């Protein structure tokens, strides 16, 4: 399975420019023969949270319209990172997953809001997990700060996810945490982790990429540089079953004591 990770800069509070750029990058990923393309977190607006009333995507309509059009035309699955959305009077940090015939097959609101970036002041947290199927493989998707919650990843691997996607806007100052936690989540859940971070700066943070694709045994298959790039990585899903047979962590869990 060939996966393209789109590590990009995001124009602060400028959905029009970000929509233009995402279309350009998804087209490039399709030209590389990717089967799945993955975008970063909050790519439509960045963390321009004080202006969400004006710029958040109402019911995700603009995002869904762009992603379904591209997925269908280019015959590519899209893990739509996440975008700021407005539903009723509330705002969310929402991931859409669109399959290669242009159907929206999953919609997920970030479950853990990150206080250091003021999310709790503006956004509502989601409550449901995010499991979907692409090419007959069960997969999961969480968002950025969700990475610090191993129980949330376990919930997804127990629900069958063999690949877990992690779009992010993870600042440079804590990039060591990002890399170590991603590797740990892959090893402990014996699954692939595909994590796409942004680059560039906003008013409060600078972001240095380091997007990663990690195999179930913990090998780093791809580490993104610190500038805009598209990483194309081929993963072999048989490795999940092989690793789970070699060290049967899922059979050895002591659910009787925890
Ligand atoms: N956008 C985020 O959720 C950032 C999470 C983060 O930086 C962290 O250290 O955790």
Q: Is 151 a catalytic residue?
A: no
C-alpha 144 to ligand 1 mean position (Å): 6
Q: Closest ligand 1 atom to the C-alpha of 177?
A: 9
Residue 101: its pLDDT value, please? 98
- Interface predicted TM-score of the whole assembly (ipTM), two decimals: 0.99
pLDDT tens column, 203-244: 999 999 999 999 999 999 999 999 999 999 999 999 999 999
Q: What is the residue with the minimal CA distance to atom 3 of ligand 1? A: 145
**Is 117 close to ligand 1, i.e. is its CB under 6 Å away?**
yes
Residue 127: its pLDDT value, please? 98
Residue 4: its pLDDT value, please? 98
Residue 220: its pLDDT value, please? 98
Residue 47: its pLDDT value, please? 98
Residue 215: its pLDDT value, please? 98
Return the percentage of the chain with pLDDT > 70, whole number: 100
In three state form, how does the secondary structure of the chain look? CEEEEEECECCCCCHHHHHHHHHHHHHHHHHCCCCEEECCCCCCCCCCHHHHHHHCEECCHHHHHHHHHHHHHHCCEEECCCEEEEECCEEEEEEEEECCCCCEEEEEECCCCCHHHCHHHHCCCCCCCCEEEECCEEEEECCHHHHHCHHHHHHHHHCCCCEEEEECCCCHHHHHHHHHHHHHHHHHHCCEEEEECCEEECCCCEEECCCEEECCCCCEEEECCCCCEEEEEECCCHHHHHHHHHCCHHHHCCCCCC
Calculate mean pLDDT across residues 16-36. Answer: 98
For residues 167 and 196, the answer to whether their CB atoms sit within 8 Å is: yes
Place 65 in a pLDDT band, splitting at 50, 70 and 90: very high
C-alpha 148 to ligand 1 mean position (Å): 9
Q: Closest ligand 1 atom to the C-alpha of 171?
A: 7
Place 84 in a pLDDT band, splitting at 50, 70 and 90: very high
**Is 178 close to ligand 1, i.e. is its CB under 6 Å away?**
no
Calculate mean pLDDT across residues 245-256. Answer: 97
What CATH number has the domain spanning 2-252? 3.60.110.10
Place 41 in a pLDDT band, splitting at 50, 70 and 90: very high
C-alpha 161 to ligand 1 mean position (Å): 23
Q: What is the residue with the minimal CA distance to atom 7 of ligand 1? A: 170
Q: How high is the mean pLDDT of the chain?
A: 98
Q: Which of 41, 119, 162, 191 is catalytic?
A: 41
**Is 122 close to ligand 1, i.e. is its CB under 6 Å away?**
no
Q: Is 5 a catalytic residue?
A: no
Residue 33: its pLDDT value, please? 97
Q: Closest ligand 1 atom to the C-alpha of 143?
A: 3
Residue to substitute in 10, 121, 145, 176 for testing ligand 1 pocket (most ligand atoms within 8 angstroms of CB): 145
Residue to substitute in 117, 121, 200 for testing ligand 1 pocket (most ligand atoms within 8 angstroms of CB): 117
C-alpha 213 to ligand 1 mean position (Å): 18
pLDDT tens column, 140-198: 999 999 999 999 999 999 999 999 999 999 999 999 999 999 999 999 999 999 999 99
Residue 248: its pLDDT value, please? 98
Predicted TM-score (pTM) of this structure: 0.98
Q: What is the residue with the minimal CA distance to atom 8 of ligand 1? A: 145
């Amino acid at each position: 399975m060939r996966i393209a990770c789109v590590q990009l800069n995001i124009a602060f509070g400028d959905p029009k420019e970000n929509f233009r750029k995402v279309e350009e990058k998804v087209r490039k990923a399709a030209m590389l023969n990717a089967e799945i393309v993955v975008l970063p977190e909050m790519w439509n607006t960045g963390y321009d949270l004080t202006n969400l009333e004006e710029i958040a995507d109402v019911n995700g309509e603009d995002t869904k319209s762009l992603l379904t059009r591209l997925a269908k035309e280019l015959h590519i699955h899209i893990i739509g990172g996440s975008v700021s959305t407005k539903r009723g009077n509330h705002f969310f940090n929402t991931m859409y997953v669109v399959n290669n015939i242009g159907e929206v097959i999953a919609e997920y609101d970030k479950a853990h809001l990150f206080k250091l970036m003021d999310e709790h002041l503006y956004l509502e947290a989601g409550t449901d997990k995010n499991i979907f199927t692409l090419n007959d493989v069960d997969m999961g998707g969480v968002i950025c700060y969700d990475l610090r919650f191993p129980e949330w990843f376990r919930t997804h691997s127990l629900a069958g996810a063999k690949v877990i996607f992690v779009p992010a806007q993870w600042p440079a100052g804590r990039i060591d945490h990002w890399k170590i936690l991603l590797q740990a989540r892959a090893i402990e859940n014996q699954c692939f982790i595909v994590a796409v971070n942004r680059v560039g700066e906003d008013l409060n943070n600078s972001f240095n990429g380091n997007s990663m694709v990690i195999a179930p045994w913990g090998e780093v298959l791809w580490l993104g540089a610190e500038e805009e790039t598209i990483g194309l990585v081929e993963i072999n899903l048989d490795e999940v079953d092989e690793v789970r047979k070699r060290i049967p962590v899922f059979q050895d869990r002591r659910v009787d004591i925890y």
